[in-house]
């Protein structure tokens, strides 16, 4: 392997967790590179409309905050490699990261591949994807100006999306399967103060209807046992996330949902492999906790290097 492809630390993923780890690693004097399939850093933050709970930087859009994170890493001299990772191998003390652009090696690898949106799994969802079905309100919301849309879910993302869409659309239905939202209180208050938002409680989407584009949703109320049709032009699905850990299955221990088992030291079951951010099993997945993981992981990496010396 060519010398320039050898690092002390390779970080896979350039969301807040990966970039947080990167700045701590370069500042610790470690030769560090971040590998991501996208040249634009930020992960899920990139598609967040507004982030109001990151300390010291309130009210920035997700893309503005991501840009700041990336600039910070660039200014400190973090190397970035744009490549699709195909696997990680443990070879002769070194870990080798295989990518479509070639192999890279490091003494330690930090996994920071984040999470992706979950599917609802109903009829019409796949067929009408891009034809009214979306998983990203900030990306696609503008197509629904003055129209009627439904948002499905009751977490932070669903409520943030509904608030964002209420500023663009004529009417927004928030369809939630229970009678309580999971989202932060401040978000709930904002949502419930909006005139053009209607929450359908205890309701599940059974089908997304329409021939070529979304025309409506079929909704079942699990308290009244009544099924009804709602005419909407768009459906924004925000029913949670799934960890992007498929590539690492068999290498590190995971729970039944695929989250990597590692405590706040970010040490995984495989020596020299660390896990940070949304891919780690943990109670609170926020930008600030992802960044904190990055710092903790590098502390663990340094301890690991001392043990190995």
List contacts with ligand NDP (CB under 6 A).
48, 51, 53, 120, 152-158, 160, 177-178, 182, 204, 238-241, 285-287
Nearer to ligand NDP, 154 or 234 (CB): 154
CB of residue 282 to ligand NDP, shortest distance in Å = 9
Q: Of all residues in this chain, which one has the CB nearest to ligand NDP in the complex?
A: 155
Determine which one of 140, 161, 278, 293 is catalytic. 140
Nearer to ligand NDP, 4 or 222 (CB): 222
CB of residue 132 to ligand NDP, shortest distance in Å = 18
Q: Is 36 a catalytic residue?
A: no
Q: Is 161 a catalytic residue?
A: no
Nearer to ligand NDP, 90 or 177 (CB): 177
CB of residue 46 to ligand NDP, shortest distance in Å = 12
Nearer to ligand NDP, 43 or 216 (CB): 43
CB of residue 204 to ligand NDP, shortest distance in Å = 6
Q: Helices 287-308 and 16-27 meet at what angle, rounded to 10?
A: 40
Q: Is 139 a catalytic residue?
A: yes
Write out the catalytic residue numbers. Answer: 136, 139-140
């Amino acid at each position: 392997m060519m010398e320039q492809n050898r690092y002390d630390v390779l970080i896979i993923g350039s969301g807040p967790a990966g970039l947080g780890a990167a700045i701590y690693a370069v500042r610790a004097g470690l030769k560090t590179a971040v590998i991501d399939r996208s040249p634009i850093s930020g992960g899920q933050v990139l598609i967040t409309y507004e982030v109001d709970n990151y300390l010291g930087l309130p009210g920035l859009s997700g893309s503005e905050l991501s840009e700041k994170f990336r600039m910070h890493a660039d200014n400190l001299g973090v190397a970035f490699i744009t490549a699709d990772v195909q696997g990680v191998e443990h070879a002769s003390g070194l870990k080798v990261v295989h990518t479509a652009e070639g192999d890279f090696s490091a003494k330690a690898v930090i996994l920071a591949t984040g999470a992706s949106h979950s599917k609802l799994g109903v009829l019409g969802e796949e067929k009408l994807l891009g034809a009214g079905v979306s998983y990203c309100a900030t990306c696609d919301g503008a197509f629904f100006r003055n129209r009627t849309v439904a948002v499905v879910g009751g977490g932070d993302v669903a409520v943030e999306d509904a608030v964002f869409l209420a500023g663009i659309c004529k009417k927004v239905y928030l369809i939630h399967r229970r009678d309580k939202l999971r989202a932060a209180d401040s978000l709930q208050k904002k949502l419930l103060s909006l005139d053009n938002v209607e929450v359908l409680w205890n309701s599940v989407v059974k089908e997304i209807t329409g021939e070529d584009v979304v025309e409506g949703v079929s909704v079942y109320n699990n308290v009244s046992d009544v099924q009804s049709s709602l005419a909407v032009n768009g459906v924004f699905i925000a029913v949670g996330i799934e960890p992007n850990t498929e590539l690492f299955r068999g290498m590190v221990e995971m729970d039944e949902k695929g989250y990597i088992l590692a405590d706040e030291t970010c040490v995984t079951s495989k020596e020299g492999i660390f896990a940070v951010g949304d891919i780690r099993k943990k109670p609170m997945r926020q930008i600030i906790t992802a960044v904190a993981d990055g710092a903790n992981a590098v502390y663990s990496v340094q301890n690991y290097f001392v043990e190995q010396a």
